[in-house]
Amino acid sequence: MEEARLWRTRHRDPLPDREQSFLDAVVQLGTRAQRLRRTAAIGAIALLSTIVAGGAIAFVKVDRSKHTAIEQADVASREATRARQAEDRVREQLDVIKREQAAKALAETAVERGKQDLRAANADLQKALGRAEAESKHAQSESQRAQVAAARASDLADSVQKTNARLEQLLTEERARTEHLEKQRRKIAVELR
């Protein structure tokens, strides 16, 4: 084929029809074969390029997916840590509320005991006042003693009233504190939901 082309380029003389046809057929066959080889080579290059590009795209996607998975794992880890910290804070707050409720119960018990003591003291004062009044009726000197006892009883009654007022104030403060703790407990319960 190559030789036929070379011979044709070197010799410009006209050939008989049969040799000219043969020469044209050989050149045409060579051209066709060359085209087929070129097309096959271009197709192979295109196929290999497509495979390489597909591989590169797949690699990039896998790499991105890997990075995304790592980032999501980091986010999940941070969120889990935050959730554990929030749970620890809630436990601490619940412990504080339990301690406050126990303190409230103790304070209410103390206030109730104080009220009972106050009632007993009031009863004793009433008895003492009654005796003092009875004694003041019996005698003049006894009257002075009764007045002193009545003054003492009055002072004691004032002291008991002040103590009672203080106990009532403590009870009021403890109730307010309990209400505040109850509000905090409800708020924590709402946050946990």
For the stretch 39-95, pLDDT in tens is 999 999 999 999 999 999 999 999 999 999 999 999 999 999 988 998 898 888 888
Is 36's pLDDT higher than 90? yes
The confidence score (pLDDT) of residue 78 equals 92
Residues in the chain, overall count? 193
The confidence score (pLDDT) of residue 160 equals 77
The confidence score (pLDDT) of residue 32 equals 87
The confidence score (pLDDT) of residue 1 equals 63
* Best CA proximity match to 4, nearest among 33, 34, 25: 25
Q: At how many degrees (to 10) do helices 140-192 and 17-138 cross?
A: 170
Is 159's pLDDT higher than 90? no
The confidence score (pLDDT) of residue 184 equals 81
Residue 133's alpha-carbon distances to 19, 120, 124, 151, 182, in angstroms, are: 165, 20, 14, 11, 51
Is 7's pLDDT higher than 70? no
* pLDDT classification of 136: cutoffs 50, 70, 90: low
CA 28 – CA 16 distance, rounded (Å): 18
Q: Which residue has the higher pLDDT, 3 or 46?
A: 46
At 87, which amino acid appears?
A: E
| Residue labelled with tokens 């009031």 | 122
CA 146 – CA 134 distance, rounded (Å): 8
Q: Give this prediction's pTM.
A: 0.38
Alpha-helix residue ranges (DSSP H) falling in the chain: 2-10, 17-138, 140-192
The confidence score (pLDDT) of residue 94 equals 85
The confidence score (pLDDT) of residue 34 equals 84
* Best CA proximity match to 164, nearest among 103, 124, 120, 101: 120
